[in-house]
Amino acid sequence: MSKSLLPEKDYMLSELAKRLKLKESTVLKKAKKYMKEKYPDRPELAKDDRLALFMFALSNGIEFRVRTPLPAAEPKKIAELEVGQKNVEVLGYAVGIAERPTAKGTRQIIFTLVDDTGYVHTRVWGENALKMWEEVGVEEGDPILITGAVVDELQASGKTLKILGQYVEVVKLEKDEVDLPPLEEIGKAKIAELEDNTFVQIEGLVVRADVRSYVGCPECDSKLPCDVGEAVTCERCGSDVVATERQWMLLVVSDTTGDVGVRVPPGLNANVAIGDIIRVMGIYSNEIVRAISIRKVYGPESKSEEPKVIRIEEKKEEREEEKEEVEVETPEEIVEEVEEEIEEVTSEGEGEALETELTAVEQRILTVLETYGGLLQKSELFGILTDYKKDELEKTLQSMKEKGLINMDESEIWTESS
């Protein structure tokens, strides 16, 4: 476990710069100078930025909170938490971190804590707890150890974890310090394997995307009885806001085992469309996944959209340019190296097929086929790729068949590997 009881360096540096009205670089220089002058026989202390910033803050009358040292204990698993428990110590990953006002308009941080046994909705509120949370600097997906929390009742999921009060502690840990599976593996499942009221992670193809718009509060997302652009006071959170258009999304996501609805709240701003492949992290309940986070795997603006293409002619031109820019004693070696690379690419079965870059629609068709196990009815493909005209898809499929990219008959499309 982490042995640091002082606040994070970046937090102290930022706070000192704001309070002293100095640049962060200037603050750090002054802090190191202060430590060298105060402890001339201990130069190693001035090299520790955390200690230097902390002591420099004290010299300026600014006192940062130091965590209370606690005896080592075995944290509870989330599945072991029960309503009414106090001074709970629990370990897990923080996901879906967001700031939302309470019903009384006060500030709070909400997130979901997950481990390999389950999940619990978690709230951080109260001046002391919020200050401690900021000092620790928890980020999305960080493993954390919470000590001194309270387990309360929550109608939606049965329980909630409250982080409040002067003596609660949150420690941010390194991923190799925790006895937990990697976050990426927790809850990972095919759609047909999903179990009710569990934290899940799925990947699939968006086959339907419904957007439901309403006029709402930009602070708490609650519905407002007014027009967009109107200045009002939100009855739920008490904030004075300008009403904005908010959007819920209801997606239908499919993989090779089944289909599931995914409910996307306004705060996620999920820019997804039919035909995109997405990874969803969320809570599965009553046959719907309530999304905590969404990442696009394939679609506009996603990295995976760009096809990886190796062209032999480009390799030759690249080498020729290098020969012109750099003096080489034995140009025969460069020619030999180019030929070896050409032979290597060709031997992998990529040479001739990859000389022509795939078009966007060809890449998309191959991606859909891969998602459905390499075999699909033509009618199903046309129903998924509705943003393309049917005759355009027919021409593209015929071209792909001639190139040897797919096989096709009157009703079905498949790849060699299927």
Over residues 188-209, mean pLDDT:
93
**In terms of pLDDT, which residue wins out, 350 or 265?**
265
pLDDT at position 353 is 40
Q: Please tell me the distance from the alpha carbon of residue 78 to that of residue 72, in angstroms, as a whole number.
A: 18
More confident residue, 147 or 411: 147
Higher pLDDT, 81 or 337: 81
Q: What is the average pLDDT across 81-96?
A: 91
Is the pLDDT reported for residue 416 higher than 90?
no
Task: Tell me the pLDDT tens digit for each residue of 240-285.
Answer: 889 898 888 899 999 999 999 999 988 776 788 899 999 999 999 8
Residue 17's pLDDT is 93
Answer yes or no: is pLDDT of 36 > 90. yes
Architecture of the domain defined by 360-414: Orthogonal Bundle (1.10)
Query: Is 360-414 the same fold as 187-299?
Result: no
Mean predicted lDDT score pLDDT of the chain = 80
Q: Is the pLDDT of residue 305 over 60?
A: no
Residue 354 has pLDDT above 80, yes or no: no
Residue 317 scores a pLDDT above 80: no
Confidence band for 59, pLDDT divided at 50, 70 and 90: very high
Amino acid 115: pLDDT: 94
Q: Under 8 Å CB-to-CB from 309, ≥6 apart: which residues? A: 354, 357, 358
Q: State the pLDDT at residue 39.
A: 92
pLDDT surpassing 50 at residue 25 = yes
- Chain-centre distance of CA 144, in angstroms? 17
Domain boundaries, the chain: 9-59, 78-181, 187-299, 312-355, 360-414
Q: How confident is the model at residue 99 (pLDDT cuts 50, 70, 90)?
A: confident
Q: How far apart are CA 190 and CA 254, in angstroms?
A: 10
Confidence label for 182 from pLDDT (cuts 50, 70 and 90): very high
216: its two tokens: 């709402």
Least confidently predicted of 25-29, 78-82, 315-319: 315-319
- Nearest 5 degrees, angle CA 142-CA 303-CA 182? 25
- Which of 156-160, 243-247, 333-337, 341-345 is predicted most confidently? 243-247
Residue 313 confidence (pLDDT) above 70: no
Q: Which fold has domain 78-181?
A: OB fold (Dihydrolipoamide Acetyltransferase, E2P) (2.40.50)
pLDDT of residue 291: 92
As a whole number, mean pLDDT of residues 19-43 equals: 92
| Strand 288-298 to 258-264 pairing | parallel
Residue 155's pLDDT band (boundaries 50, 70, 90)? low
What is the pLDDT at residue 371?
A: 65
| pLDDT level of residue 302 (50, 70, 90 thresholds) | low
pLDDT mean over 176-197: 91
Class of domain 187-299: mainly beta
What's the pLDDT score for residue 325? Answer: 47
Look-up: residue for tokens 């035909």? Answer: 275
pLDDT at 388: 78
Residue 363: what pLDDT?
81
pTM over 0.85: no
